[in-house]
Amino acid sequence: MRGMGLLTLPALALLTLLAAWAVSFSLFWLIALVPLAALVLLGIHDMVQRRSSILRNFPVLGHVRFMMEYIRPEMQQYFIERNTDGRPYDRDTRTVIYERSKGIHGDQAFGTELDVEASGYEFLEHSMAPEQPTPEQPRVMVGGPDCTQPYPMALLNVSAMSFGALSANAILALNKGARAGGFAHDTGEGGISPYHREGGGDLIWEIGSGYFGARTPDGRFDPEKFRDKAADPQIKMVELKLSQGAKPGLGGVLPGAKVTAQIAEIRGVPQGVTVISPPAHQVFRTPRELVLFIARMRELAGGKPTGFKLCVGSRREFLAVCKAMLAEGVTPDFIVVDGSEGGTGAAPLEFEDNVGTPLTHGLLTVHNALVGVGLRDRIRIGASGKVARGTDIVKRVAQGADYCNAARAMMMAVGCIQAQKCHTNHCPVGVATQDPKRYRALDVPDKAVRVQRFQAATVAEAQQIIAAMGLTGPHELRPEMVRRRVSQRKVSSYAELYDYLEPGELLGEPVGGWDLDWRAADPDSFRPVAVEA
């Protein structure tokens, strides 16, 4: 700072002399001198500051680099990337979502831009005797033998996104759209807000490790609060979140800038303080305790469908849960499988990129395990992870899901432009922010209609594809109907790429790669027991 002062004084003296000289000619020269003076002072500051080496070596010009770096994502998205290149969602997919939500046709001329000869290309088998798609949306009845209030689930629903992570207007638009379209809206772990209730749409109440909305002052699960709120007829199902795709093994994080007085009241936490949910639950420590807690939740909820959501990690852990179900004679009514490619929540890059099981493998693991222990007919499976188009629904159901949930696609239906600033409170379109000056731009009546249109058009497209495959409904989809190019010369179906268990197969002599994991699974511990290969 001392060096800065020594440089600033002569600079100011020189600028004063220049200003006096310029004014003697004309005031217009003074106007031109002001920005020059600002640049001189900025350059002096850059040379003496110690935080940035770039600015010390390249004063003033270094700021241009930082500015270009700041707008790089937008430049990449709008001017550089091809229609099929963007991540997490490419331009073609985003365009389909926007057009369907606006009621615009989604057709494209001149053929696909995808390389159909490239490894990894997937396609669906159509039939020479296609069917007519059914006019009404398919429904999946969720509710096992211990459920007294089963719920007819739509083929595509709003996945878990909390109020707090999303704005009030975004939540309200999503819920109004869900009500208009007759599909379900998962609250996310942030509790039930007035905007969930105002919309009147069917709710799936998600409870995470923070137990928001049903917690004691010290952060533990409060059964009385849970029972009272779960009795609300708007709540159709209750869900225990074990993990989510973007950050499996981490608790949820809501930055303090988003914790307004209203959010603090809904969640039961201090205002303005970053909210971090614990990575693990307090209500259970073993697979058996998990299963028994699910039964307790169902009882407290008055027999409403009760289940859990997870991003699959160790197959042995899930098999341990299956063993606990068999031992206790208790099953959840549904299980939502979240893929590691999911990502509405903020998470460290390493977790987003390298932790957790992608949806295809996780879904096949859960489906096969339940088939193998003879419980698949009692439990419905939801798939969540980059579901945005009709083909996504068809593929996931063919792989073993009963229905699908979408998060980011629904965000795009209400105006998200994939700016990837969800965790900064600076969402440019008012979807993922608590800044009223930003979210006021989100017009609820218009966006609610867009949500309803997107869901209806996407399900209709899935039904059209299913009919083109010669099938009468999603219940007839099978793994062999989805094909994948695995090399330049070979195409295989999902039935050939993965091993599928027969009903009850794990209860006898497990075969293939399941034997070791099955023997190592312990219903009383999430840590596998040591077994010999």
Tens-digit pLDDT profile for residues 222-281: 999 999 999 999 999 999 999 987 777 777 666 777 777 888 888 878 888 887 788 899
Determine the pLDDT at residue 283.
95
Beta strand spans in 255-333 (E)? 275-276, 306-310
Ramachandran angles phi, psi of 7, nearest 5°: -80, -35
Backbone angle region of 486, left / alpha / beta, with phi > 0 → left and psi within -120 to 50 → alpha = alpha
Residue with tokens 């220049």: 18
Long-range contacts of 137-140, Cβ-Cβ distance < 8 Å, separation of 24 or more: 137/182, 137/456, 137/459, 137/463, 138/459, 138/463, 138/473, 138/474, 138/475, 140/380, 140/402, 140/403
Determine the pLDDT at residue 307.
98
Q: How many CA atoms lie within 13 A of 160 on its CB side?
A: 33
Determine the pLDDT at residue 4.
45
- Residue 174's CB is within 10 A of a number of other CB atoms, namely 29
Q: How many CA atoms lie within 13 A of 214 on its CB side?
A: 27
Collapsed DSSP state (helix, strand, coil) of residue 493: strand
pLDDT tens by residue, 175-211: 999 999 999 999 999 899 999 999 999 999 999 999 9
Taking only the tens of pLDDT, the chain with its 533 residues reads: 444 444 554 655 665 666 666 656 665 655 666 777 777 778 888 788 888 888 887 888 888 887 877 777 667 666 666 666 666 777 788 889 989 999 987 677 777 877 788 888 899 999 999 999 988 999 999 999 999 999 999 999 999 999 988 999 999 999 999 999 999 999 999 899 999 999 999 999 999 999 999 988 888 999 999 999 999 999 999 999 999 877 777 776 667 777 778 888 888 788 888 877 888 999 999 999 999 999 999 999 999 999 999 999 999 999 999 999 999 999 999 999 998 887 666 677 777 777 778 999 999 999 999 999 999 999 999 999 899 999 999 999 999 999 999 999 999 999 988 888 887 888 889 999 888 899 999 999 999 999 999 999 999 999 999 999 999 999 999 999 999 999 988 999 999 999 899 999 999 876 678 989 999 999 999 987 777 66
What whole-number distance in Å separates Cα of residue 523 and Cα of residue 521? 7
Whether 306 contacts 332, CB under 8 Å: yes
What whole-number distance in Å separates Cα of residue 407 and Cα of residue 384? 8
As separate numbers, helices (DSSP H) first and strands (DSSP E) second, the chain gives 20, 15
* Cis before 88? omega within 30: yes
What whole-number distance in Å separates Cα of residue 235 and Cα of residue 255? 27
The residues, any chain, with a CB within 8 Å of residue 85's CB and separated by 6 or more, are 91
From residue 183, give the alpha-carbon distance in Å to each of 417, 455, 457. 24, 9, 13
The number of angstroms, rounded, from the C-alpha of 88 to the middle of its chain's C-alpha atoms is 11
Determine the pLDDT at residue 63.
83
Burial 17-33 (b: 16+ CB within 10 A, else e): ebeeebeeeeeeebeeb
Structure tokens at 97: 């979502």
Q: Could you write out the DSSP letters of every residue in 315-337?
A: HHHHHHHHHHHHHHT---SEEEE
Residue 63 exposed, middle or buried by CB count within 10 Å (0-12, 13-18, 19+): middle
Collapsed DSSP state (helix, strand, coil) of residue 475: helix
Q: How many CA atoms lie within 13 A of 182 on its CB side?
A: 12
What whole-number distance in Å separates Cα of residue 135 and Cα of residue 158? 21
E strand or H helix at 158? strand 156-158
Nearest Cα residue to 465 out of 485, 481, 451, 480:
481
